[in-house]
Amino acid sequence: MNASNFVEGVDFSLYLILGISIFFLVGITTVMIYFLFRYRKKNNPVATNIEGSHTLEIIWTVVPTLLVLVMFWYGWTGYQPMLKAPKNAIEIEAIGQMWKWTFVYPDGKVSDSLVIPVNEPVKLNLSSKDVLHALYIPAFRVKQDVVPGGDNMMWFTGQLTGRYDILCAEYCGQLHSYMMTTVNVVERDAYDTWLVTEPDLADEHPGFTLLKKNACNSCHTFDGTRLVGPSFKGIVGRSETVIVDGETKEIIADREYIIHSMKKPNDAIVESYQPNLMISYENIITDEEMNLIVDYLETIK
């Protein structure tokens, strides 16, 4: 049994081609080296001008043609089932953004890792909040680009319980290689339990939960180190030089400035940081939640 329903088709296509390739690589290299020594000047002082052979040209055109058709065919038959998801598949929204994956379940449950029941087809509707990403599960042999404005999907059936890596395969900027999470394939009843269990957030500040949920910490650290955006540490009340309409301006990063920056991030970019990288959260986070975030930010000095 393989980790997913596509492993067999993909691996057959791959190993068939690798097998044929190794045969030709070894064969041609051997013949080449043999000729090199058999017909070196010492062994064969006078060369023969052989201009060619129609028979051989036909053979080594027809044989590769047949072989590539076979290779093509198994590539196609392994790929074709990926194009259409079964009707009974569980539909999950998979959202990519710099540099975080978010999964939204049919009943509204939101998770930053994927949990799926074993032996049931799952369909991921892929969307991106910013640039291209690609959702790649090497163990499942599936990969699909996540295109902003597009409506790509992928589907698969996890056939073995266990936890597998989900990686981003399409370059998406600074922390591309850290944009990873896992898919946990579990028994149906464990899945049902997981679906209704809310993560224990009792000790967590709601503002902190919101920051994590929206991947803010991908670009803004809590400990003062510089990433793509200014660190959250001590941000409230900090004086900053920002760029407004091309002019530098001194401001104090108060509640009003921070909330405005969540809504219209490019209006006043802190000097030395780049514009256009942050998306607007105006329609994603409510005003009430934004205030909760600033409440939390006030606590990290």
Q: Which positions from 194 through 253 interact with another protein, judged by CB under 8 A?
A: none
- CA–CA gap between residue 263 and residue 284 (Å, rounded): 9
- Of 76, 162, 163, 201, the residue at the interface with another protein (CB under 8 A) is 76
DSSP, collapsed to helix, strand or coil, labels residue 81 as helix
Q: Say whether residue 92 binds another protein (CB under 8 A).
A: no
Residues of this chain, 93-122, that bind another protein according to CB under 8 A: none
Q: Say whether residue 145 binds another protein (CB under 8 A).
A: yes
- Of 79, 201, 234, 249, the residue at the interface with another protein (CB under 8 A) is 79
Q: From residue 201, how far is each of 141, 204, 205 by CA, in Å?
A: 35, 5, 8
The span of 67-75, 85-93, 197-205, 246-254 binding another protein (CB under 8 A) equals 67-75
- CA–CA gap between residue 275 and residue 270 (Å, rounded): 9
Given the complex with another protein, which of 121 and 148 has the nearer CB atom? Answer: 148
Given the complex with another protein, which of 12 and 194 has the nearer CB atom? Answer: 12
- The burial class, CB within 10 Å (0-12 / 13-18 / 19+), for 295 is middle
Q: Please name the residues in contact with 234: beta carbons below 8 A apart, sequence gap of 6 or more.
A: 224, 300, 301
Q: Say whether residue 17 binds another protein (CB under 8 A).
A: yes
Cβ of residue 84: shortest distance to another protein, in angstroms? 9
Residues of this chain, 251-280, that bind another protein according to CB under 8 A: 274-277
What is the token pair recorded at 75? 């590539």
- Of 3, 5, 82, 100, the residue at the interface with another protein (CB under 8 A) is 82
- Of 178, 201, 206, 234, the residue at the interface with another protein (CB under 8 A) is 178
Q: Please name the residues in contact with 78: beta carbons below 8 A apart, sequence gap of 6 or more.
A: 6, 8, 9, 10, 12, 13
The span of 16-24, 88-96, 230-238, 291-299 binding another protein (CB under 8 A) equals 16-24
- CA–CA gap between residue 272 and residue 182 (Å, rounded): 34
- CA–CA gap between residue 57 and residue 77 (Å, rounded): 31
- Of 64, 86, 199, 234, the residue at the interface with another protein (CB under 8 A) is 64
- Of 1, 50, 196, 202, the residue at the interface with another protein (CB under 8 A) is 50
Q: Say whether residue 131 binds another protein (CB under 8 A).
A: yes
Count the Cβ atoms, other than its own, within 10 Å of residue 170: 19
